Amino acid sequence: MIVGDVEILPLAAETMGVRSLCTVVVTPDLRILFDPSAGLAKRYGLEPHPLEYKALQSCLERIFVEARKADVLSISHYHYDHVRPGFTNFRYNFSSREELQRMFENRLVLAKDNRENINPSQRRRGYYFEKDVEDVVTAIKWSDGKRFRFEDTMLTYSPALSHGPKSSPLGYVVATCVEYGSIRIVFAPDVQGPVEQETTDVLLSMNPDLMIVGGPPIYLHVFTDEHRAAARASLCRLAAVVPILAVDHHLQRSPSWRRWLSPVYGSAEENGNQVTTLAALAGKDVQCLEAERQLLYQTRPPSDEFRIWTEATDEYKDSHMPPL
C-alpha cells in the first residue's frame, strides 16, 4: 500500500496466519520496521497446525530480511509476538539469542521504556531484551512520549497507552505516528479496539491518513460485553474519520471477526472511508489460520510424526522443531 510518498508493507499478522502486527513503513528518508516478531500459541486445546508453523517460518524469514534493511527497529512493548525472545523456543516462536542479536546488529532501536509505565512481566522481558542486544545495536532510545526527526520524516510516539482495559494486568504499549510532508501513518498495536476512550482520543489527535490498529480479543471471556461495546464504539469513531483503517491482530483470532466488525464497516462506508486488514494492505488473501485451527485439524490432518511431537513434553517441544 502506498499513500502519497509513503509505503506501508505489512509482514505478519493474524490475517496472514500468525500472531503479529509487524509492518515496514518507508518514506524517502527512513525505513522503519515496527514490532519485528511473530509467534503462535495453543488454542482449543490444540498445538498450532503445521500450516501455521509454515506461515510462521515464512513470516519470520521476511521479518529478518527487512530488519537487516531497516534504518530503525521500533518496539511498542515486550510481548513475544512483537519482539523476539532471547532464548530458544521452537514451540511457538522459532527463536534464539543468536537470531535476536543478528536481527538487531548495528541498528537504531526506538523502544518502549522498560523502566516506567510497565507491568512486572514486561519489565522483566524488557530488561533481558536490553541486555541481549545492548552490545550489538547502534543505540537503544526510549520512545514513550518523544519525537525523533530523520531529515524530513518525523516520528512521534504516544505516551504509554493501556494494553486493553485499564484494569488489564498486561501493561502498556506505545503508538507511533510517521509523518512525511502532509502524510501521517499511525501504528497502534494491542490497544484492543481501543477499548479505552482516552486511547482513542490520543490516536485521533494524530490525524492519520492510514492507521494500523490492534483489534479487541473478543475470543477471551475476560474481555467483557462492556469492553466489547467500548471497543466497537471506538472503532466506529476511528472508521468515521480515518481514510484507511486496518484492523488486525487479536480480533482475527475469532472466527466471527467479520460479523463483529459489521458496524465498523458501516461507519467507514457512510463517511467515504475504508476498513481493511494487514493481509489486504499487503495484497494477500486473508488466512486466519488460528481461528480456523479446529477445522484445519479435521480437514487437513497432520502427519503421525507431527502428532507424536505434539504429545511430547513442553520442554521437548521448546527445544525441538516440529516435523513439518
Q: Judge contact between 278 and 13, C-beta under 8 A.
A: yes
From the CB of residue 142, how many other CB atoms can be counted at a distance below 10 Å? 17
User: So what's the pLDDT on residue 26?
Assistant: 99
Q: What would the pLDDT profile of 50-82 be if each residue is shown by its tens digit? A: 999 999 999 999 999 999 999 999 999 999 999
Instruction: Determine the 3-state secondary structure of 176 from DSSP.
Output: strand
Beta bridge partners of 142: 111
Distant-in-sequence, close-in-space partners of 72: CB < 8 Å, separation ≥ 6: 30, 31, 32, 33, 107, 108, 109, 110, 150, 155
Place of cell 493474524: 14
In the predicted model, is pLDDT for residue 314 greater than 90? yes
State percent of the chain over pLDDT 70.
100
- Mean per-residue pLDDT over the chain, rounded: 98
The pLDDT confidence band at residue 169, using thresholds 50, 70 and 90, is confident
Q: Report the pLDDT value the prediction gives residue 173, as an integer from 0 to 100.
A: 98
- Matching CATH number, 2-314, of 3.40.50.720, 3.20.20.210, 3.40.50.880, 3.60.15.10: 3.60.15.10
pLDDT tier for residue 170 given thresholds of 50, 70 and 90: confident
> Which of 94-108, 158-172, 244-258 is least confident?
158-172
**pTM to 2 decimal places:** 0.97
pLDDT at 167: 78
Beta-carbon neighbour count of residue 253 at 10 Å? 20
